[in-house]
Amino acid sequence: MGAKGGCSKYLHADEKMLPTQHQQLIPGLPDDIGLECLLRVPFQFHFHMKFVCHCWHSLISHPSFLHQRRRSPHAELLLCLVQALPPSTHSSSETCSRDEHNCSVTTLTEEGENTEAVEEYDDKRHNLLRAPPPLYGLSVYNATKHSWQRIVLSNCRRGEIQLKIPMFCHCLVLPSTGKLLLIGGWDPDTLEAVHDVYILDFSSRQWRKGAPMLTARSFFACASVGHSTVYVAGGHDHHKTALQSAEVYDTVADEWRMLPPMGEERDECQGLSWPGDSSGGFLVVSGYGTESPGQFRSDAEYYDPNTESWSRVEAVWPFPNASPRAIATTVSNSGHDWSLFVAGDQEALVREKSKNKDDGVNYEQTMVTLPRGFSTSQSSPCVTTVGLKNGRRMIYVTGSSSSPASECNAIDGGGRSGVYSLEMEESSSSEGSRSSSCKWERIDTPADFSGFAYSASCLYI
């Protein structure tokens, strides 16, 4: 990667970015201190920092900068939600003030599009915080800065200010690249399943269309495995027929490939990246067949990339009448696994797996009381998880809120979504035994970001 005007190149070597030519990042400061200063700048300013000079543009655009920032104490945690946008029929007094509630709109342009063209719409962007149903949008909660923003995909080439995001699409993070994928779902105009794939780069504030899936599908299982591979399976097609088919996406080559079909049809199934012997595999949890809608299976199917085959896993999902969307699994470096299952209005099941001193496996199940005001009566909850430091894990749960409107900033006193975080911390005793503790916290959610959340994913940036 070269920089114009004789600027420095920055390469990733021994976990550090080293200049190959002598030019200071910040005049008067050693490069290591200059780099530390740039790493401390909040993520929201990175896009504008690229226009300071060619050196900064080259540095901030390089994957090593993202890698170094993610490993530093200055990384910011983003919770990305595909959620229903609130109705546009509410008066201006009921909509959130971006200054008062720390919420905003960020526009991502299509690759190759003139960025300046988007600025013509600055005076209209406040209207994009809300749109009439059944539109869906991409919302981002910055858990580090405690701020909300709506991500708008501009399509100025075709005369559109805002590209319509497919309803019920999956949002999926590629952690190593800092990119977000929006996959499948329904066309918001025809309500038919789509093949579409959108790839969003928050750092460059650009988006592009990826290669489409081989099969149009919605309500399917989806997960990223490894650094650049995405698996999808199940769901249903245009005719609402449950699918057995599965495919894999190489995000580097931008190519999809069909996989062997699963043993069962699985509509409304949930996908998880599952630890394996090498890079891990793909677990498809529950779902139901065309002839048994709403009767969720208790089993799962695991795809092993090494053998290129599926195997059945029994007794994974314990709730026959609830969607497995409310399941999240996280693994600590010590091999201590947590799985969270949310189905009822009062309690959630936490299943823990850990290795004992004889290299055996211990399983424990604990019922955790859900936070006050959380409800699954109006919609099934959505769950995502992220690993923190020192054995800590954060799980984000979204569901309908039963709290009074005055307490939750509700738009109309009901039907809004609440966002809660569950922090799980692993600890060890002097005898070597392990235990975990749980702590719930409700996230302050402005009314414009309170719509039903279908899909969620977390990203450090």
DSSP letters, 133-202, are: TT-EEEEEEETTTTEEEEEEE-BGGGTBSSPPBPBT-EEEEETTTTEEEEE--B-TTT--B---EEEEET
Please, are residues 181 and 172 in contact by the beta-carbon 8 Å criterion?
A: yes
Distance CA 213, CA 231 (A): 11
Tokens representing 4?
């114009």
- In the chain, the number of structural domains is 1
- pLDDT value of residue 122: 39
Look at residue 289 and give its three-state secondary structure: coil
Range of the domain at 65: 4-71
pLDDT at 421: 87
The pLDDT of residue 118 is: 38
Please report, as a single letter, which amino acid is at residue 323. Answer: S
Nearest by Cα to 203 from 54, 57, 13: 57
Q: What is the DSSP string of 379-390?
A: S--EEEEEE-ST
- Token pair listed for 352: 């823990």
In a domain, 22, yes or no: yes
pLDDT of residue 76: 92
For 2, list phi and psi in degrees, rounded to 5.
-105, 155
The pLDDT of residue 62: 86
209-214, long-range: CB within 8 Å, 24+ apart, which pairs? Answer: 210/181, 210/249, 210/251, 210/254, 211/249, 211/254, 211/255, 211/256, 212/256, 213/183, 213/184, 213/247, 213/249, 213/256, 214/247, 214/256, 214/258
- Would you say residue 52 lies in a domain? yes
Respond yes or no on whether the N-terminal peptide bond of residue 134 is cis (omega within 30° of 0). yes
Q: Is 440 inside a domain boundary?
A: no
CA 316/CA 285 separation, integer angstroms:
7
Q: Which of 375, 457, 384 is nearest to 417 (CA)?
A: 375
Burial level of 14, CB count in 10 A (0-12/13-18/19+)?
exposed
Cα 394 to Cα 68, 339, 370, 375, 387: the distances in Å are: 22, 12, 15, 20, 6
* Sign of the CA dihedral running 441, 447, 451, 456: negative
Two tokens at 102?
């720390």
Contact status, residue 183 vs residue 232, Cβ threshold 8 Å: yes
The tokens describing 450, both together, are 């309170």
The set of residues, in sequence order, having a beta carbon less than 8 Å from that of 254 and lying 6+ positions away, is 210, 211
Residue 10 lies in a domain: yes
Yes or no: say if 354 and 331 are a contact pair by the CB < 8 Å rule.
Answer: no
Q: What are phi and psi of 45, to 5 degrees?
A: -100, -5
Question: Per-block average pLDDT, block size 10, for the chain (461 residues)?
Answer: 41 44 80 93 89 90 87 91 72 37 72 49 44 74 92 68 85 88 94 95 87 98 92 96 98 97 97 74 95 95 95 90 78 56 69 60 70 70 73 75 40 57 70 67 88 89 88
Q: Look at residue 62 and tell me if it is in a domain.
A: yes
Angle at 211 between CA 205 and CA 215, to 5 degrees: 130
d(C-alpha 419, C-alpha 140), whole Å: 12
CB half-sphere exposure, 458, CA atoms < 13 A: 22
Kind plus residue range of the DSSP H or E element containing 117: helix 115-118
Residue 85 CA, distance from chain mean position: 18
**Residues making up the chain, counted from first to last:** 461
Can you name the residues that pair with 71 across neighbouring β-strands? none
Residue 407 has a pLDDT of: 34
CA-CA distance, 70 to 63, in Å (whole number)?
11
Tokens for 48?
């504008």
Measured N-to-C along each axis, helices 31-40 and 63-71 cross at an angle, to the nearest 10 degrees, of: 80
The answer to pTM > 0.85 is no
Domain annotation covers residue 37 = yes
Tell me whether residue 32 is in a domain.
yes
User: Cα(142)–Cα(75) distance, rounded to whole angstroms?
Assistant: 11
Asked if 303 and 248 touch (Cβ cutoff 8 Å), the reply is no
Has residue 80 been placed in a domain?
no
